[in-house]
Amino acid sequence: MSWLGIIVIGIIFLVLVVVFPRTILSVIGIILAGGGALYLGEVTAARKSAERQASIEMTANFNEADCTADTPLKIIIANRSRNSADVVAKVDWNVAVYRPGYSSNIVDYSFKSFSDGRIKTTSEWATPYSSDKILAAGEVVEWCFPLPALAVSAPPASLKYEVTHKQVMFR
């Protein structure tokens, strides 16, 4: 819209306010109240959704004692929700791996072959790990998974494992 159009609309609005002040101000008040109610509803819904997602806690660690040599990555999924209606239907996630003292994720996202049994993805944002175990509020489940392919050679027990890009679907 050009400046001329904005100026014309502004002049028309001012004329209407001068000629019909109560009516125009009432309409503006109704529009502002309705917009405020919609905004408040959206903010509340977004907050509840974020709280619901945050109630699903996940941890990852290297654990050959509880897991096998082929699947040494122990994942714990806990539904910490206090609301019995928050039943988890499925969780997808990825894993980031860090060397002690370093901040770079050393998962190799360039691999495309699954020949050695390790989990490989072509994107940090992919979610190659998944669980469709239904979890009621308060339930905890533990799984063992293969390690992701690493770009750097390091002893797996010395690395820090972190769940990333968690996506939770509720029933």
Token look-up 């050679």 returns 153
Residue 9 has pLDDT above 70, yes or no: yes
Residue 128 has pLDDT above 90, yes or no: no
Mean pLDDT of the region 80-87: 92
| The amino acid at 136 | A
Q: CB-side exposure of 112: number of CA atoms within 13 Å?
A: 0
| The amino acid at 75 | I
Mean pLDDT of the chain: 88
Record the pTM. Answer: 0.71
Residue 17 has pLDDT above 80, yes or no: yes
Residue 118 has pLDDT above 70, yes or no: no
Is 29 strand, coil or helix?
helix
Residue 125 has pLDDT above 80, yes or no: no
- Rounded CA gap, 143 and 168, in Å? 16
